[in-house]
């Protein structure tokens, strides 16, 4: 599925035709593999990765759509790829735009959305829990080699929160075109 999508994405850019930039947004929760997927696509040489555009280290944008467009326009002869998390879309909220309208505007302006999700909420939450505890968010070996003491109440709340965010993501994407990728099925191994 991913190979077919990728082949279709880049096949429209034949060497004899002028370059037409593709713009891809990975939409998913933290610890779902968004950085991994973005890094994999960038490693093909076709994409310029921009990371998480709405994370806490980024300044709030008055016009988030124009911010995305401006960044994409700076990618000389490369496709644009980035990822956002539902719960870090403060720029969209503060700009007075609904998250749904923001996604619709991106699609209207040529973005393709990859909806990245994890089906195993227990393992998803454990990954988040261990990353928070250790401070290592993108280092698998660090996460696996340390013992973790789990507060069952906090852990249970984390799973409920993941399920709630997952429901909100699906509602936001309802009837929008997107490619769905499941971490466990497509990226884990």
Contact 105, 16 (CB under 8 A): no
Structure letter (DSSP) for residue 19: P
pTM value is: 0.88
Res 142 pLDDT > 70: no
Instruction: Name which of 59-63, 118-122, 144-148 the model is least confident about.
Output: 144-148
Distance of CA 19 to the CA centre of its chain: 25
Weakest-pLDDT range from 2-6, 104-108, 175-179: 2-6
Residue given tokens 């956002």 in the structure block:
84
Instruction: Give yes or no for a contact between 158 and 125, defined as CB atoms under 8 angstroms apart.
Output: yes
Q: Positive or negative CA dihedral for 189, 7, 176, 72?
A: positive
């Amino acid at each position: 599925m991913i190979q077919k999508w990728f082949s279709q994405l880049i096949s429209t850019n034949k060497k004899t035709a002028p370059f037409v930039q593709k713009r891809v947004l990975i939409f998913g929760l933290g610890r779902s593999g968004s950085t991994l997927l973005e890094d994999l696509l960038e490693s093909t040489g076709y994409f310029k990765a921009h990371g998480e555009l709405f994370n806490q280290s980024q300044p709030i944008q008055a016009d988030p759509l124009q911010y995305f467009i401006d960044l994409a326009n700076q990618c000389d002869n490369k496709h644009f790829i980035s990822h956002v998390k539902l719960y870090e879309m403060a720029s969209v909220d503060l700009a007075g735009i609904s998250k749904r309208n923001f996604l619709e505007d991106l699609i209207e302006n040529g973005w393709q959305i990859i909806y990245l999700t994890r089906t195993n909420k227990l393992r998803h939450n454990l990954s988040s829990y261990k990353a928070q505890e250790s401070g290592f968010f993108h280092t698998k070996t660090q996460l696996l080699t340390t013992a973790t003491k789990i507060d069952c109440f906090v852990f249970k709340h984390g799973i409920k929160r993941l399920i709630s965010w997952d429901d909100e993501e699906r509602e936001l994407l309802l009837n929008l075109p997107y490619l769905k990728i499941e971490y466990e099925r497509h990226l884990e191994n």
